[in-house]
Amino acid sequence: MGKRYYCDYCDKSFADNSENRKKHLNGVVHDRLRKLHYSQFREPEEILSEERAKFPCVKIKQSGFCPFEGNCRFSHLTPEWERELLEKIEAKKLAAKAAEDQAANRPEPNLADWLDKRKKKDNASSTSEGADPSGGSAALQHMQFSLPPELQNIPDLPPSMIPPTGDCFAETAEWGL
């Protein structure tokens, strides 16, 4: 049967050879469907400004249907669609402002502060457990592991994402003997 080429945009497959592929990729239907696919990911500000710059489509006004759909050079902007786009733009601005405010309230990361904090944590863990001369699993047994906040509410995490317990680091064998 031979190799087949599948086009994700057109949801179509055909015999894969250079002539068929070239014919398909240069086709009007493929171009229209590819443009339609990528238009889904455009920013609402861009869509709104483009639609407002165009003249209104007469066919949409008369019959409510345009045979050119997304390829029409005239605007198909309805009041509902315009309201929806404005809501998306406003929500995006509010989210950006909230992120900016949160970043402004967060202290500037400082390497010296982090190193001091780390040193205090290491000193506290070494004094509480007694110094292990081998530096081995005794330190690991008393370490506390926890999930990041965004993963704490997710049920049924895979085993690879569940934090280890201290007893899983117990020494079981001497290596290299």
Is the pTM higher than 0.85? The answer reads: no
Answer yes or no: is 1 within a domain: yes
pLDDT confidence of 139, banded at 50, 70, 90?
Answer: low
Last residue of a domain, which of 92, 108, 124?
108
Answer yes or no: is 77 within a domain: yes
- Report the candidate in 23, 26, 22, 6 with the shortest Cα–Cα distance to residue 14: 6
Nearby residues of 93 by Cβ (< 8 Å), 6 or more positions away: none
Angle at which helices 79-105 and 44-53 cross, to 10°: 140
Answer yes or no: is 153 within a domain: no
Q: Strands 4-7, 12-15: parallel, antiparallel or unpaired by DSSP?
A: antiparallel
- Whether 72 and 99 map to the same domain: the answer is yes
- Whether 52 and 103 map to the same domain: the answer is yes
Question: What is the DSSP-derived secondary structure letter of residue 142?
Answer: T
Domain that holds residue 21: 1-41
Are the C-beta atoms of 74 and 58 separated by less than 8 Å? yes
- Whether 65 and 100 map to the same domain: the answer is yes
Q: In percent, how much of the chain has pLDDT > 90? A: 35
pLDDT confidence of 146, banded at 50, 70, 90?
Answer: confident
pLDDT confidence of 129, banded at 50, 70, 90?
Answer: low
Q: Which two tokens stand for residue 82?
A: 């315009």
Average pLDDT, the chain: 83
pLDDT, one tens digit per residue, over 49-71 is 999 999 999 988 888 888 887 77
pLDDT, one tens digit per residue, over 77-128 is 889 999 999 999 999 999 999 988 888 888 777 888 888 988 888 888 777 6
- Whether 87 and 59 map to the same domain: the answer is yes
Q: Is the pLDDT confidence value at 177 over 60?
A: no
CB-CB neighbours of 142 under 10 Å = 13
- Whether 80 and 101 map to the same domain: the answer is yes
Answer yes or no: is 76 within a domain: yes
- Whether 27 and 71 map to the same domain: the answer is no
- Whether 50 and 90 map to the same domain: the answer is yes
What CA–CA distance (Å, rounded) separates 160 from 35? 41
- Whether 54 and 97 map to the same domain: the answer is yes
H/E run at residue 7: strand 4-7
- Whether 21 and 6 map to the same domain: the answer is yes
Q: Is the pLDDT confidence value at 37 over 80?
A: yes
Q: In percent, how much of the chain has pLDDT > 70? A: 82
pLDDT of residue 70: 73
Last residue of a domain, which of 58, 85, 108?
108
What CA–CA distance (Å, rounded) separates 30 from 5? 14
Number of domains in the chain: 2
Answer yes or no: is 131 within a domain: no
